[in-house]
């Protein structure tokens, strides 16, 4: 799974780029049709759905290191604890 880390980072960067290009046009159209409150609720719902899907689909094992690497990392940065979405929110 660690060998696909770059692929997942690429997907995130691609989504950010497409959102920057397409987002203002879609937001402007939606504002003209359903107003500010409707646009706010629609995009808020999309963001919430994106967070849930990210938590579910992006494997947390991408951040795990091998045992030897973990020992070396720990000796360099004492007190470091890996935080994941599941530890923070669940």
Quickly list H helices, the chain: 5-57, 67-76, 85-89
Residue 85 confidence class, pLDDT cut points 50, 70, 90: low
Query: Of 90 and 16, which is predicted with more confidence?
Result: 16
Domain range for 21 is 2-64
Domain total in the chain: 1
Residue 90 maps to a domain: no
Residue 80 maps to a domain: no
| pTM for this predicted structure | 0.51
Q: How far apart are CA 67 and CA 90, in angstroms?
A: 25
pLDDT tens, residue by residue, 21-72? 999 999 999 999 999 999 999 999 999 998 998 888 776 665 555 544 544 5
Q: Using the Cα atoms of residue 62, residue 84, residue 90 and residue 46 in order, give the sign of their dihedral.
A: negative
Please provide the distance, in angstroms rounded to a whole number, between the alpha carbons at the two ends of the chain.
Answer: 23
């Amino acid at each position: 799974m660690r060998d696909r880390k770059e692929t997942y980072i690429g997907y995130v960067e691609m989504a950010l780029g497409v959102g920057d290009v397409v987002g203002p046009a879609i937001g402007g159209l939606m504002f003209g049709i359903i107003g500010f409150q409707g646009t706010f609720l629609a995009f808020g719902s999309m963001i919430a759905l994106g967070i849930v899907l990210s938590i579910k689909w992006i494997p947390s094992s991408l951040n795990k290191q091998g045992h030897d690497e973990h020992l070396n990392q720990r000796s360099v940065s004492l007190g470091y604890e890996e935080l994941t979405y599941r530890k923070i929110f669940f």
